[in-house]
Homo-oligomer: A and B are copies of this chain.
């Protein structure tokens, strides 16, 4: 399995602390080497205590460990919540013999509930003892909430003859409409790259991956994406935007897109992945917003669940997000042209409905306006989504 321990010099572990009703719920990632680090976080003005603390600790561009709990978001928990987030970092630092400010923290679960800090502190020594190069799987399981399966990914490239590896894991499932940030996601790499460039690459590549997915249009208070680079690949330090940087950034995009697609496919109650591509848009912003709007529409998500090629909903969705010329727009569903020259194309609805039974349903929208393009990903809307979210806590 590829994942966060695939790059050289990264260890991980996962354990049950007893925060969730059952299953693993506490994870740790660490490197024996102080790493360059960066993060992107939720834009929600309500930020969870661990988000605020990690942002502070990341200011120097370094980190050596990340501790994560599931089962409790530690958000909207007042002063107490802030203290608990700090106590998690302090305890990890003590166990690993590193500086408290080099430990990052992330939490996910119900908003507004008190974190059982006693259970967390009690479990942390065993969690630290369990760190191993094979611990990636357990860690990827310990960060899940309503997810049905772990999401991990890995990419390997060569930079100046050196093998450079990137590994990642993520959790998602609900409250997913990130802006400039994402869910909980962790990337490790042995690449030798400066902190500022690491941050630049992370921000740029988040735009076209995590920021182009939606599950339900709500933005979490806990969204965090972390990256640590420990330099163990021993490639010459990447300190400028040259060929090596673009190689690395390309690999990062591949990794993030892989995780993003896994996230939507495991969206709450989802049975199918929706991929919407808008081409020949006036601006990149327009292409991004329209492709994302299509994948976020309840009506379109429901019609994908029902395998109904009701393309009028796609036209209405793009029309409400920009100025488009109805007579020029062309729309394809699963490769079949359904709309052009301002009206319906004669297609076989039964044949197309059958094609929409695939695990992946693609929409292609040509605006015939400019040269910009973007892709977005979402999932279908199912009765199961409603059931999950009607009784998430009870």
Contacts and interface: CB of A to CB of B under 8 A. Distances in A.
Contact of A73 (B75, B80, B312, B391): B312
Is the contact region of chain A dominated by helix, strand, or loop, or is it mixed?
Answer: loop
Interface string A335-373: 000010111100001000100000000000000000000
A32 interface: no
Most buried by B among A317, A318, A324: A317
Interface string A377-394: 000011101111111111
Given A46-B316, A313-B111, A316-B111, A386 B75 contact: no
A344 B394 CA distance: 17
Interface residues of A, number: 70
Interface string A292-317: 00001111001101111011110111
A341 B77 CA distance: 10
Contacts of A113: 344
A175 B305 CA distance: 17
A315 B391 contact: no
B44 A218 contact: no
Given A216-B299, A392-B303, A339 B46 contact: no
Contacts of A157: none
Contact of A218 (B75, B174, B220, B298): B298
Contacts of A218: 297-299, 313, 316-317, 320
Contact of A343 (B45, B78, B344): B78
Nearest to A311: B112
A219 interface: yes
Given A312-B76, A320-B218, A112 B343 contact: yes
B344 A76 contact: yes
Given A76-B326, A319-B221, A394 B111 contact: no
B298 A216 contact: yes
- Which has the most chain B C-beta neighbours within 10 Å: A179, A341, A392? A392
A111 B305 CA distance: 19
Interface in A66-94: 73, 75-81
Contacts of A344: 76-77, 112-113
25 contacts: A45-B320, A45-B323, A46-B316, A46-B319, A73-B312, A76-B315, A76-B339, A78-B327, A110-B312, A111-B313, A111-B315, A111-B316, A112-B311, A112-B312, A113-B344, A175-B299, A216-B299, A218-B299, A218-B313, A220-B316, A221-B315, A302-B388, A305-B386, A310-B393, A383-B387
A385 to B, nearest CB: 7
A75 B303 contact: no
A113 to B, nearest CB: 8
A380 B382 CA distance: 15
A76 B303 CA distance: 19
Contacts of A312: 73, 75-76, 110-112, 221
